Structure formats: C-alpha cells, structure tokens
Structure 1
Amino acid sequence: MKIAYNRIGTKKTINYVIFGLIFIVFSFCAKAQENPPIPVQVEVNTARFLNFGAFTTGISGGTVIVNSNGARTATGDVVLLNMGEQFSAALFDVTANPGTIIQIQPQSSITLTGSNSGSMTLSIDSYSTGQTFITTASPPFANPVDVGGTLSVGDLSANPPGQYSGTFTLTFIQQ
C-alpha cells in the first residue's frame, strides 16, 4: 500500500509561493501624476479711501481715530465737525484662493501734508480681519478688509486749517 501525500504544504512549495507573490506585488508599478500646484495669486484693489472727515484743534492738539468699523473718535483738544465731509475706514478687496493665509504689513511712518503748510502723522492700526487672516471667499468674489488709523494732530500753529492729504502703502504678504 502506497501512501500519497500532498506536496503543496512542503517548505519548498511555500517559499515559491511567497517569492511569487512578492514578485507580483513589486512588478505592479503604480503611476500617478501629481496635482498641479494651486495658483496662489493674490489681488488687492482699493474700494474706499481712508478719510478722517472735518475737525478742528485747539491749543494742545490730540488725535482723530477712525477704526476699521468706520467709527470716529477724538482725543485731546480735537473737536470733530459734521460739515458734510464724510469719514470712513479704507476698504480693500482681496481676491485669493480660499484658505490662503495673508499678513498685512503697514508702512511704518506716514506723513500727511497740509494745503496751508503743516503736517500730521498717520498710523495704520485697525484691521477688520486682524493683521493676519485666512481668505474664505472663492474668486471672483473678494474678501473685504476694512482698515482704520490714528491721525496725530498738533495745535493750530502746527496744523493750520486746510486740507491734509497723503498716501500710505500696505503690503499684503501671502504665506
């Protein structure tokens, strides 16, 4: 009587099966193309200018503040006037891909010059989004950023009546 046994379970057969499976796994090469980089183009447009409106100063001067909400206040010897001259925070429309982190860097020193001599110093210090923010609107829609500031006003001899104007630069840095 002969006894037949199955050779499938031998050590040599198991090694062949394992090596065969490893060969099959490594012979399949997965190929995929990387997604193209997301275009990170940030566009900033001025929608409204910063305006402190009409005011007058006395002996000691003070400050006029227009915050990012558009509220106007004064300190010191400055009296706010309502003579038809509207005050407003600056408004910038920022267009970028949603999720873009943007940091706003203001110009360090801004001087406004008067039509009848004199000068005032402006500090940009109020942002509706904070100085660093994450965009949420998808192009072509913009993310509104309201910006306010503080105007340092001298006395009447340093700042005679007239119109004062100047420009400031904000740098929008995409991170």
Structure 2
Amino acid sequence: MYRYFSFILFLFLLLSGKVQAQKSVSAQIFAEVIQGVAATENQPLNFGRFITGTAGGSITISPDGQRLTRGEIIAEEGNYTSGQFLMEGDAGSTFSIKLPNEKAVLTHQESGKTMYVSEWISNLPLSNVAALNEGLCLIKIGATLNVGTVYENPVGVYTGSFEITFSYN
C-alpha cells in the first residue's frame, strides 16, 4: 500500500507541473542617454577702466556686476561686467561648477607686465550646485583684480583668461 500511495503521489506531482527544480524569468533593462553639458560665455569678466596710484590696490566685480575699489584705485566711467555663462543640459538635472583654484594672469599687451585675478565667486549657492530649470541656467562670475603701482602696471590694456568646469551631479 505504501508503494501504491508513493506511486500515486509521484504521478500527481509529475502531472501537475507545479513543482520544478528551476524556473527562468524574463526581466527588462532600461537606459537613457541625456543631453551633454554645454556652456557658452555670454559676457566676459571686465574690470573696466581705472587709474592706479603709487600704492596700487584692488578692484572687485561681484556676480551681480557691482564694482568696488580698494587702495589707491580710482574707477573711471565705462563698461565693467561680471562674467556670464549660459549652461545647457538635461532639464531638471543638477550640476556644479568648479571655479579656478589659482590666480589668473592678465598681461600688458606692450610691456608684458602682469596683474592677477583671484577670489573667484559665482551667483550660485555656496555649494556651487544648481538645477537646470527647463534645461538652462545663467551663471555669473565675479572676482578681484590685484593692481600694482603705476610702475608695476603701466597704462594700457591687460588681457588674460580663466577656466571653470561645469559638470552634472
């Protein structure tokens, strides 16, 4: 009887198809390619026109475009602007910027003498992280120009460049 009952149970389990040693399941995989980060300079950082004295000083441009002089610097009329960059990318994503760690050098076009730009600041929160609302964000950059004496920094035009890095978080 035991063998008969075992045989019936074996047939029942075999024919029911519900007991299996392994089972394969199909699963889905997803990936999404998003727009890469793009940044363009809309407006250069410009400290404007000024006169320096015997002791030099500094000029600071804030991200909102305000100009402040210190020391023996006399600000003159004319254009001065914060640097402005348009950041483009995936709408709703967050990004960060890395401002320069080092001083930027401005060089006199005729004499080769230099001035230095430092103390970089942006209009973003202290963390330098922001969101791309509708895929766009305007970033404004300010800094301080350190000016020497008239001998160290003769009259003329000084030019230079700086680099900032934009990246998704």
Equivalent residues in 2 for 1:162-173, closer than 5 Å: 162-173=156-167
Equivalent residues in 2 for 1:94-173, closer than 5 Å: 94-97=87-90, 98-106=92-100, 108-117=102-111, 118-123=113-118, 125-130=120-125, 132-139=128-135, 142-173=136-167
Superposition CA RMSD, Å: 2.6
Aligned to 1:106, the other structure's residue is in SS state coil
CA distance in 2: counterparts of 1:89 and 1:147, whole angstroms: 6
Residue 39 of structure 1 is matched in structure 2 by 34
Q: Bigger shift: 68-77 or 99-108?
A: 99-108
CA distance in 2: counterparts of 1:23 and 1:81, whole angstroms: 89
User: How far is the alpha carbon of 1:110 from its aligned partner?
Assistant: 1.0
Q: Which structure 2 segments of 5+ residues have no match?
A: 1-11
Q: Bigger shift: 114-123 or 54-63?
A: 114-123
User: How far is the alpha carbon of 1:101 from its aligned partner?
Assistant: 2.7
Residue 9 of structure 2 is matched in structure 1 by none
2:71 is matched with which residue: 52, 65, 76? 76
> What TM-score do the two structures reach when normalised by structure 1?
0.75
**Which letter does structure 2 place at the counterpart of 1:171?**
T
2:85 is matched with which residue: 56, 77, 92? 92
User: How far is the alpha carbon of 1:136 from its aligned partner?
Assistant: 2.8
CA distance in 2: counterparts of 1:53 and 1:103, whole angstroms: 25
Q: Identity, % of aligned pairs? A: 23
